[in-house]
Amino acid sequence: MVILYDRFNFPDDIYEIIFSTKQQAIVAKALVREFKEHGKELTKTEMSLFATNLHDGKLITEIDDPQYKGRKIKLSYNKRQFYDRILTPMKSMGLVYYDLYKKRYSLSNKFSSDLQKIGVMWNMELNKSIGTPVKKKNGQ
């Protein structure tokens, strides 16, 4: 997944930076809330139940959008799209970790450490010397 952002118009919400649509950001927030309600871990069955409830429009949650402030709403999102556009990117970016042996999903801080590593890599690139210039021979 590619994260594109404008540093001069930086959103206050991390989900708006990571996800390309408001709907994806809302669903991702609901998923993280679900994780936090279960001790930051979900079994494979609990994740499937979350996705099914979401697909069936039975997931009830609160969102921090001003027009819905303080109200519980029902969310609906296609199950396949949930796995393809929300959970899989969250796993690949290091926001969510899946333990194959325990069959458990958990929130992870790998995203944060990866971003720090990227920052270090950029600083190394800035400090690289270009070496000695190559002289062209015979107009080549």
Query: Is 122 part of any domain?
Result: yes
Query: Is 137 part of any domain?
Result: no
Q: How many domains does the chain have?
A: 1
Structure tokens at 14: 């991390």
Domain membership of residue 68 as a residue range: 14-127
Query: Is 74 part of any domain?
Result: yes
Cβ neighbour number for residue 96 with a 10 Å cutoff: 24
For residue 139, the model assigns a pLDDT of 58
Query: Is 25 part of any domain?
Result: yes
pTM: 0.85
Largest Cα–Cα distance in the chain? 76
pLDDT over 90, % of the chain:
71
What's the pLDDT tens digit per position in 43-73? 999 999 999 999 999 999 888 877 777 788 8
Query: Is 8 part of any domain?
Result: no
Query: Is 96 part of any domain?
Result: yes
**Counting Cβ atoms within 10 Å, is residue 104 exposed (0-12), middle (13-18) or buried (19+)?**
middle
Query: Is 121 part of any domain?
Result: yes
Question: CATH number of the domain that 51 lies in?
Answer: 1.10.10
Query: Is 83 part of any domain?
Result: yes
